[in-house]
Amino acid sequence: MRVSIDSEKCQGHNRCYALAPELFDVDDYGMAMVIGDGTVPGGVEDKARLAVANCPEFAIAMSDDDASAATAGFATGSGS
């Protein structure tokens, strides 16, 4: 599972940072940013979902790495 932030939508409310500081940080301008590559470590999935649900601008997205890998394998033809 990964999280990402759409910087065009983010308004700097920083609820994500308050709820999941393991996943999000704040830049010098007060805008939220994902820590690292956005991978959600085990045990923090609920915090990631809470951050997504509490973003007033709907700027945070979550993706499932397993689904992405399966889709990539299918698209390249190596999934057989």
What is the spatial distance between Cα 11 and Cα 29, in angstroms, rounded to a whole number? Answer: 11
CB neighbours of residue 51 within 10 Å: 25
Question: Could you read off the pLDDT of 10-63 as tens digits, one per residue?
Answer: 999 999 999 999 999 999 999 999 999 999 999 999 999 999 999 999 999 999
pTM: 0.78
Total domains, the chain: 1
CB neighbours of residue 38 within 10 Å: 19
- Where residue 65 falls among pLDDT bands split at 50, 70, 90? confident
Model pLDDT, residue 72: 42
Give the CATH number, domain containing residue 24.
Answer: 3.30.70.20
Model pLDDT, residue 74: 41
Give the structural domain span for 59.
2-76
